[in-house]
């Protein structure tokens, strides 16, 4: 099973919005060189909702090919259409992804039973291990803890990315699933350190896009129970954790990568480039993390 720092990889794009395949390969190697423990391809941060099916497939395939088995690849295969999520998951399995990350259906607002049946159908349609993704702030669809516990009993559903930022809720799940093989990952960088110190297994991280080495070290320290080291690293990264959400993800992190000289200015509507009034805020966070000079 995957543990540690798992980057929710931003998809680099040229100024005209075309996917920059060469830079995508370079980004993958940047993470391989800096200790990232696994990569999510075409997750929320990767802008899959603005991609064609062909582009979505190609991003997953390109990341799998570039990684070449060196670390696990988690394919983003979520959709509010169960049939579409199944198709994406089957494709990810065909091209060699190790896991899939599938989000709670957005816009439809399903019941808890609907959520259970949706994820169960995905898990039964492919042998690719499924990680659930709960991010109510984006989906208006919340997988309650009781539903997670039901889903943990379904063959092939192996974990949860919890992006609620609710540590009481996370503590409840961690305690009730203790001793099982079910994996619990934070999806909220600002609370991920405490999530892992309570017994979580890693962080599916936006911050790791710009600070992969530090995030790897933070996750390793937290999961080893080294409170002092984990909090020391986390304090340095906290301005990034906080401010990479200053506008909708991935707007700030793409600007940060651009500021670091890593990617071009491409982003797709309806998202827009980071508002100028926030440029200094993100620059200061990068400086505090030691990622750029003043």
Residue ranges at the known binding site for pyruvate: 45, 204
Which residues on adjacent β-strands are paired with residue 157? 130
Q: What is the distance between the alpha carbons of residues 179 and 225, in angstroms, rounded to a whole number?
A: 17
Which H helix or E strand runs over 173? helix 167-176
**Active-site residues: which are they?**
133, 161
Look up residue 248 and give its DSSP letter.
Answer: S
How far apart are alpha carbons 293 and 210 in whole angstroms?
14
Residue 193 burial by Cβ neighbours in a 10 Å radius (0-12, 13-18, 19+): buried
**Which positions make up the binding site?**
45, 204
Element (H or E) spanning 157, and its range?
strand 157-162
> Please, which residues have CB within 8 angstroms of residue 78's CB and are 6 or more apart in sequence?
48, 85, 88, 101, 102, 103, 104, 133
Residue 153: phi, psi to the nearest 5? -85, -10
> What's the farthest any 2 CA atoms get from each other in the chain?
52
């Amino acid at each position: 099973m995957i543990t540690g720092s798992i980057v929710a990889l931003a998809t680099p794009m040229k100024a005209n919005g075309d996917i920059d395949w060469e830079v995508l390969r370079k980004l993958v190697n940047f993470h391989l060189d800096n200790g990232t423990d696994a990569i999510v391809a075409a997750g929320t941060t990767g802008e899959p909702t603005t991609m064609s099916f062909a582009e979505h497939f190609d991003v997953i395939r390109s990341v799998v090919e570039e990684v070449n088995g060196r670390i696990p690849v988690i394919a983003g295969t979520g959709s509010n259409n169960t049939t579409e999520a199944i198709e994406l998951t089957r494709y990810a399995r065909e091209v060699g992804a190790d896991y899939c990350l599938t989000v709670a259906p957005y816009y439809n607002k399903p019941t808890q039973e609907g959520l259970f049946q949706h994820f169960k159908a995905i898990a039964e349609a492919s042998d690719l291990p499924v990680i659930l993704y709960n991010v109510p702030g984006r989906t208006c669809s919340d997988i309650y803890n009781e539903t997670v516990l039901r889903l943990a009993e379904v063959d092939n559903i192996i974990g949860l990315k919890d992006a609620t930022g609710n540590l009481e809720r996370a503590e409840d799940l961690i305690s009730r699933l203790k001793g099982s093989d079910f994996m619990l990952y934070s999806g909220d960088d600002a609370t991920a350190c405490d999530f892992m110190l309570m017994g979580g297994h890693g962080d599916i991280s936006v911050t790791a896009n710009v600070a992969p080495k530090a995030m790897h070290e933070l996750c390793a320290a937290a999961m080893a129970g080294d409170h002092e080291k984990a909090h020391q690293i986390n304090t340095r990264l906290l301005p990034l954790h906080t401010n990479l959400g200053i506008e909708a993800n991935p707007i700030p992190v793409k600007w940060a990568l651009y500021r670091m000289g890593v990617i071009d200015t491409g982003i797709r509507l309806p998202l827009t480039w980071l508002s100028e009034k926030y440029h200094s805020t993100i620059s200061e966070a990068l400086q505090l993390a030691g990622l750029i000079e003043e």
